[in-house]
Chain A
Amino acid sequence: MKKTLAIAIMTLVLAAVPAAQALEIDPNVMPEVNLGGRVIATVNANRAKDAAGSRDGDEHMDFSDSSLLLGFSKYLFDSRRYGFAVIGFKIPEDGTDLKDDIYFHELHAGVGGASWEAKLGRSRLGNALISFPTLREEDLLAYTHVGNGSSNAEAEEYQLFGNVIAGNWWFTKALSVDAGITGRTVTDVAGARTSGDQLNGAYLGLAYDLPESIKVGRGVRYAGLRFDTQEAQEIDAMLPKDRMNALIGALVVNLSGNPESTWVLDLQAIMNHGASVTDLASEAARARAKATSVATSIRYGYRPALQTHWQVALTLAWKDYRDFSDATAWAIVPSLAYRLGSGVDFLAQYRYSDYDSTLAAALDRKSEQMVWLGLQFALDATFNETVGERKSILNLEHNMLDIGPMGGGH
């Protein structure tokens, strides 16, 4: 009898679930669907010199950072407000803790209006202001992002993505403030995830941002400042719970006014006030350590007839762990993307990294050279295009209700 009652209750509960999940969905109101992402496949050759001067190396295939994004958006009764959702997954790097997984890096829903947008779910942590023209985002991760003090994993996904409750408010079309409560992934000392649903940080930023589509001539395209704070969770006795604060500043400047021959300078600095750590041997310790890092790149786009044929970039990065002597690292990265066709590119990149003695001892690596050669197929398609674009010319220059999500699946 009890079993029958239990089954009956369970049946009722399950039957009630769909009604509880959503109110009314009008099947005639199709959302706009954005399909974005890329497959990037490279052959990597690595040569490293350890602290004692011995050399080692390997060659391997790398699909990491390949991703697929699905974005959905629709207006809420009229074109003044919109709702959106994004589902995206990435292929983690082989050789990391996540190597056999598919990682959902974007999984959030949001709403927005003419001067604001808010989202809730998994997304970027807001621990960097600009992106650099390296083939993959993680190629200079230690220099370009505020690290996750709660993670001892090698997986860059735990450095870039997490839970967010985030919002933007635009004072003008180009000037905005953004803020968020963040939840960085927590791991144990072995790098295994112990929690992914905590809220353990926050950020607040101010940015001037004119997108590339608007800003054609010389001058500043982006300038931003952001304060990022996180409560690093206890990993072990050497890495207790601790507060980390960081300040990020960034600038993007058009150096050339010729849209067929573009020169762009990217610059970002991170001042991480961090926490006190006893050594730099672990991922979490390096993320927590007080450090100053600067990354800059200059990129040239060859665009005859306003079609990109190829782009080259040179990125330089430097980082100093302030509490340690001889703990400076630097890297230089020339990279090339050659357009084979629309969205299909040949890629090449070289990176030289150098570590001072303290860091070299901690990493067991004095220097490292890496070469990438590969292909990428990138896509950015929109179906049922019914929602505007926040960064459109009609919105930015003509003040029209042509708004939509900042990101979506693009």
Chain B
Amino acid sequence: MSSRREFLKVAAGAAAGGVASVAAAATSHGAAGATGPAAEAYGVSAPHGAYDSGSGSMMYMPGHSMIGARTNPPGAPADDQVEYREFDLSFDVAEHELLPGVKFPVFAFNGQVPGPLFRVQENDWIKVNVRNNTEEMHTIHWHGVDLIYTMDGVPMVNQDPIHPDEVFVYRFQARPMGTRFYHCHWSTPLHAMSALHGAFIIDSPNDPIRKQFPYTREYVLALEAFDINFTRKHMNELLKGMKRVNKLMADQQLTPLTHGFFQRYEHFLKAMQDGWRPPYTRGNAEVSQIRPTFFAINGKSFPATIGEHGHLKIRRGEYIRIRLISGSWFQHSMHLHGHQFWVVAEDGNVLPYFKRANTIHVAPGKTFDIIVYGDNPGFWDLHDHNELHTMNNGIYPGGMITMLEYEDMGQPPYVPSFSVNQ
């Protein structure tokens, strides 16, 4: 039933996807065109004309449509020039269960949280065919991988966003070795965190860590924080806005004003002078309170981190490697009980010396690799020591807790009983 208030009520604003993107555009070009002190005054001197924002987005090209398109960006060797390891990936809208009784909508790679784990060898040539099955735009940024500029996945900087029903082909060489990850770089605050992220592990036969600590088992733990209410609300607003944007694009009527993207910073300023207002301005902004209340490891909150979803296992005398990846908004201080582990790699790179610790602070965007030696049989907590993150919706225990279990412990001297609400 249509509402009379809908006639009187004005639209909430342009596509929500433009919010972050306009801000990003303004920031990235700000030094060149902003009033006030020249960039040089701050000691940030760029060669004149070195930065040109290019010819603009293909979104606005007359007669252009991305529906059903397969985009092969330039810069990488052709298929017959190198031997590619080929992968298929997709952007999906999915409903994810964090733990029994709690489901929420997410954007997800291949419909799963986190996205599928990539395991490749250093210097492998990688080809990823990624299909966008959503009505929203996306990209993939290969975080910590030294790849070809055109494959870095930053929208409007390296590439156009991947449109609905488009297949985009990323080609690059996997290097350097180490714990890397990938995430969506479009509307990043929502997309990367809820929940377009996954691990990208580059192995090498020359890995000095494996040589020093001859481990046979390893675990990859993506650390995550979810505001399931914000995610739901924001996804709804995004999809609502994008329905209109996609319609305009299909009809070849989309303008930079509609989507909030401009070819040059000066065009943005001109639009402002002409009365256009970006969504972040006062009186126009969507005020979102982002307050994650669920915390997870590999898409599951305690107690769903235990049992079939895989807590960590070790045996006496065994080394295991744990790769910690932040897919989160927060720093997570991961603490392992009963052990002093070695911190062997940061951001995927082998550290010059291996520090002993029992707590490691994993900040947003960071990865750490740790080695645990099985020398203290038991059933041990591995958890975020920011205890606000070990709750499910404010109820302790929950969230970012998992366990390290000695498989060869035999009959334990004490077996506690668990409950969600102790």
Contact = CB atoms under 8 A, between A and B. Distances in A.
Interface of A: 28, 38, 78-79, 129-135, 137, 207, 209, 212-214, 216-217, 221-222, 224, 252, 257-260, 264, 266, 299, 303-308, 311, 313, 337, 339, 341-343, 345, 347, 376, 378, 380, 385-386, 388-389, 392-394, 397-398, 400-402
Given A78-B101, A216-B243, A307-B13, A131 B8 contact: no
B58 interface: no
A336 to B, nearest CB: 11
B382 interface: no
How many residues of B sit at the interface, in one of the four size bands? 35 or more
Given A216-B243, A257-B247, A337 B8 contact: yes
A224 B7 CA distance: 20
Given A307-B13, A385-B229, A398-B93, A378 B5 contact: yes
Contacts of A388: 232
Contacts of B245: 306
Contacts of B1: 129-131, 207, 209, 222, 224
Interface string B248-285: 10010101011010000000000000001000000110
Interface string B380-406: 000000000000001000000000000
B258 A213 contact: no
Contacts of B235: 393-394
B14 A380 contact: no
B103 interface: yes
A20 B257 CA distance: 58
B236 interface: yes
Contacts of A260: 244, 248, 253, 258
A212 B6 contact: yes
A137 B4 contact: yes
Contacts of A341: 283
19 contacts: A78-B101, A133-B4, A213-B240, A213-B243, A214-B243, A258-B247, A259-B243, A259-B244, A264-B2, A299-B7, A307-B13, A343-B9, A347-B8, A378-B9, A386-B229, A392-B236, A398-B95, A400-B105, A401-B103
A305 B283 contact: no
Given A257-B247, A258-B253, A401-B103, A303 B11 contact: yes
A394 B239 contact: yes
A394 B105 contact: yes
Contacts of B95: 398, 400-401
Q: Which residue, A306, A380, A388, has most C-beta atoms of chain B within 10 A?
A: A306
Contacts of A313: 7
Contacts of A135: 8
A304 B253 contact: no
A339 B13 CA distance: 12
A388 B105 CA distance: 11
B243 A393 contact: yes
Nearest to B8: A337
Contacts of B9: 343, 378, 380
B248 A258 contact: yes
A9 to B, nearest CB: 42
Contact of A393 (B6, B236, B247, B283): B236
Interface string B17-32: 0000000000000000
B3 A131 contact: yes
Contact of A337 (B7, B12, B255): B7
Nearest to B95: A400
Nearest to A339: B10
Contacts of A306: 11, 13-15, 241, 244-245, 258
A304 B10 CA distance: 12
A197 to B, nearest CB: 27
B2 A252 contact: yes
Contacts of A378: 5, 8-9
Contacts of B103: 79, 400-401
A341 B241 CA distance: 19
A304 B229 contact: no
Nearest to A131: B4
A134 B93 CA distance: 39
Contacts of A222: 1-2
Contact of B105 (A28, A129, A137, A402): A402
Given A212-B2, A304-B257, A394-B236, A259 B247 contact: yes
Contacts of A266: 2
A85 B7 CA distance: 25
A343 B105 contact: no
B355 interface: no
Question: Which 9 residue pairs of A and B lie closest in terms of their CB atoms, listed nearest first?
Answer: A131-B4, A259-B244, A133-B7, A308-B10, A393-B239, A305-B257, A392-B236, A306-B14, A339-B10
A212 B394 CA distance: 36
Contacts of B284: 342
Interface string B346-357: 000000000000
A400 B15 CA distance: 22
A396 B95 CA distance: 14
A259 B246 CA distance: 10
Contact of B14 (A207, A258, A307, A402): A307
Nearest to B9: A378
